[in-house]
Structure 1
Amino acid sequence: MITFNLHCESDHEFEGWFSSGADFDRQFENGLVECPMCGSRNIDKALMAPAVTKSREAQSQQPVALDTEKREMMRKLREMVKAVREKAEDVGERFPEEARKIHHGETEARGIIGKASGEEARALVDEGIEITPLPEFPEDLS
């Protein structure tokens, strides 16, 4: 897991957690990274000191300490994401097409998850179709 300090064009500062730098790049390119305060997608990484570890073994021996409140928040977030995934139909690459069909009443209303490019996601939002990205946790990627 990697944390980036981010800021938007309105100078709101916030953290973003990603499974890797490439994951941030993918989400950013797909228009999925936005300011939690104003919704802007004009996001930049803030300067931050790099985290340096000696080796994979040393890294696994360095526990991350979260305070009780943040640990509980992460537990709840993981539970919510798991529940959404379990109760939604995975339509894969057909996500934009299926979201439009549901929005226009051409097929049954139901929860769906899948994949959409940044351009496709922006087009759906521009059409008034409510979508949101789901976070991926390291254990989701194995």
Structure 2
Amino acid sequence: MIQYALKCSNGHGFDSWFQSADAYDKLAKAGMVTCTQCGCTSVEKAVMTPRLSSARSTQAPAPRAEAAPSKAEIERVLKELRAKVEANSDYVGRDFAREARKIHLGEAPERPIYGEARAEEAKALIEDGVPVAPLPFVPSRKTN
């Protein structure tokens, strides 16, 4: 796991964890890394300060004081995120794990997808190095 300090084109800064540097690169290229404040997909790595501990001080740095977003703001951002995911990704339903693995192995064309997977399927994908991330909403089931 690797943590990156990120910044969107609107100037919002936030931190996020990724399975690996390659996983970040693939998700960013697919437009799946979004700002936690505005949902913008134009996100890049920000300059990070190294975490150093000194022999004299073992105290953790004081946490940054940030105002918690309101429930309405959270709902707005989640709604925007959902709209972007649905507009820019293929819904593969319950075949998500199988399709993600095929894309990872080069057996299917690379494209952003979303869908549903059981916890054990998602865990197996992560263990096999397939870059996946949980969505903070339940996908709408699309029917033909």
Q: TM-score, normalised by structure 2?
A: 0.44
Greater relative CO, 1 or 2 (CA 8 Å, sep 6+):
1
**Structure that is richer in helix per residue:** 1
Q: TM-score, normalised by structure 1?
A: 0.45
